[in-house]
Structure 1
Amino acid sequence: MTLSLFLTQALNGVQFGVMLFLMAAGLTLVFGIMNLVNLAHGSLYMMGAYFLAALVPVTGNFFVAAVLAVAASLALGIVVELIALRTLYRRDHLDQVLCTFGLILFFNEIVRMIWGATALFVQPPPILSGFVQLLPGVIYPVYRLTIMGVGLAVAIFLYWLNGHTRLGMLIRAGASNRAMVGALGVNITLLYTLVFGLGAALAGLAGVMAGPILSVQSGMGDSILILTFVVIVIGGIGSIRGALVASILVGVVDTVGRVFLPLVLGAVFSPATSSKVGPAIASMSIYILMAAILFFRPQGLFPAHR
């Protein structure tokens, strides 16, 4: 166990946390403002990755394909909201869960029909394919640093949007008192559509960022969806700042735990046992962390102001 290994894995944790933030930011907006339990958010992440994989060969340019994939995710989110979700706002959460779970099955089958069951792989563009030396002994992929930069840019954009624009004012007002916003003449239905589209675009962006470092396959959004819900619970429902802090916290705990817990347990148990038990304990540690935070702060680290 060396310092360079620890720093590398800590950076991997931050990078994973940034991807979680792109997912969690959209989901916390949708749940915090629309009071909609959207289990299909992970499917929008998956579709963003598939859009990228399909568009890179067509356009011949990764960056053009990425922009088009995010735009396609935005359009898909708006269509899903208009067709499947608009009637659910006044229904209870069980109806929302059943409908959005059905959307998960629908999207998983759609990608199998169109792209097949075999995983797809996307190569990062040559300009982002190299490595950079951050510190002596710490060499890190440029693409993963790019993911961190994109996540930081999105966080700054959401901070500006939420705190310094009319749309952000309406979003905050809609989260506090939907009836009052509607009474003031604001088209709350259109506002919901815009918020859901923004959430879908962020999920699609997360899928685009994940495409070159993960295999693109059916169901890839299911596991990350669970962690995304953990993030918004830890950070505080409806809070962008909470989503950012909680995402990085969860990403670092999960990544560092999976790498170093087997090494620590190897001093006590056999290598085979430690390699199996270590990742399992690392996964459990996230939920233990969530329980501990909720014990002291039941509304999360940075609950949204109502």
Structure 2
Amino acid sequence: MTLILLIEQVLNGLQAGVMLFLMAAGLTLIFGVMGLINLAHGSLYMVGAFAAAAVAGATGSFLLALVAALAAAAMAGALVERLVIRRLYGRDHLDQVLATFALILIFSEGTRWAFGSFPLFLDIPEALSGPVTLPGGILYPLYRLVLIGIGLAVAAGLYLLIFRTRIGIRIRAGENDREMIAALGVDIGRLYTGVFALGAALAGLAGALVGAIQSVQVGMGEPVLILAFVVIVIGGIGSIRGALVGALLVGLTDTLGGVLLPQLFGLFMETSAATRTGSALGSMAIYVLMAAVLVWRPTGLFGARA
């Protein structure tokens, strides 16, 4: 592997990582504040992607598509929280898993009914299309660099919201002692709805942004949801900083493992079977990483120590 190819794959890993962060941040917020296992979070990612594709197709504006993705996912999240999730607080995690799994089926069939079974395509805006030349003569797609910048900007904004605002104080207090902040006069129901809508909006934004570099189709959120769960386990449940670090680690490990391991096995053994073995191990790399982190830190990198 050449140095240029390695740098390109590192950038691809960073881009995948920051998009995973948008998913994992909402998921860890919801679990940390509400104690809720939300398997339907990937469906909100899909809702954002389909809303963006539909609006972009109707208006030709990528900016309006992003606004539509944020609004549609946030409204869907708030509606789901009020109608379904609110009845699950304090229930057994198995009840939460079954209820949110049912929501996956409802969202999937509803999306198929509204948009059909065929994939939709969201075009990269013309101003962001094409490559740019990086130091060293490396050509890299401008849109992917913009995705990295957007992800890092959202991470900074989320940090400021959680740690520098009164709303953030309430969110952190709700995570630590929800009964106490309710006794102090905070409307816990409105807080929960807001947190759920925020997490849904982040997932919808990720779906819209990624939808421009892959097809938008029913069920696209479930594979990303699995990776998001891996991220919050590695980073530590309830930690925004852990979600960012975990997402970057997973993105880089998945991308580099999928490229480097097949080449290494092929270099030493020079058989197709060796290359296939390397590909299989590359796919397993993120789970090996998760296991190693849990052996070292059972609560994750930035999770609270037991």
TM-score (norm 1): 0.97
Residue 130 (structure 1) aligned with residue 130 (structure 2): yes
Question: What's the C-alpha RMSD, in Å, of the aligned pairs?
Answer: 1.4
Alignment of 1:142-161 (within 5 A): 142-161=142-161
Gaps of 5+ in 2: none
Alignment of 1:129-278 (within 5 A): 129-278=129-278
Alignment of 1:4-153 (within 5 A): 4-153=4-153
1:26 partner SS: helix
Gaps of 5+ in 1: none
Given that 1:263 and 1:274 are in contact with CA atoms closer than 8 Å, whether structure 2 keeps it comes out as no
**CA apart distance, 1:199:** 0.3
Q: Provide the rounded CA distance (Å) in 2 between the counterparts of 1:147 and 1:164.
A: 25
User: Per-residue CA shift, 1:120-168, capped at 9, x if unaligned?
Assistant: 1111100010211112242111110111111111111111001110110
Q: Provide the rounded CA distance (Å) in 1 between the counterparts of 2:72 and 2:116.
A: 20
User: Per-residue CA shift, 1:55-76, capped at 9, x if unaligned?
Assistant: 1022221111211221111111
1:39 partner SS: coil
**CA apart distance, 1:305:** 8.8
Q: Provide the rounded CA distance (Å) in 2 between the counterparts of 1:305 and 1:147.
A: 33
Q: Provide the rounded CA distance (Å) in 2 between the counterparts of 1:102 and 1:2.
A: 47
2:84 partner SS: helix
Change (3 A) 1:211 1:176: same
Given that 2:262 and 2:282 are in contact with CA atoms closer than 8 Å, whether structure 1 keeps it comes out as no
**CA apart distance, 1:289:** 0.9
Q: Provide the rounded CA distance (Å) in 2 between the counterparts of 1:259 and 1:66.
A: 31
Q: Percent identity?
A: 58
1:303 partner SS: coil
User: Per-residue CA shift, 1:175-209, capped at 9, x if unaligned?
Assistant: 00111111111111110000000000000010011
Equivalent position amino acid for 2:58 in 1 = V
Aligned length: 306
User: Per-residue CA shift, 1:198-250, capped at 9, x if unaligned?
Assistant: 00000001001111111111111111111100100110111111100110010
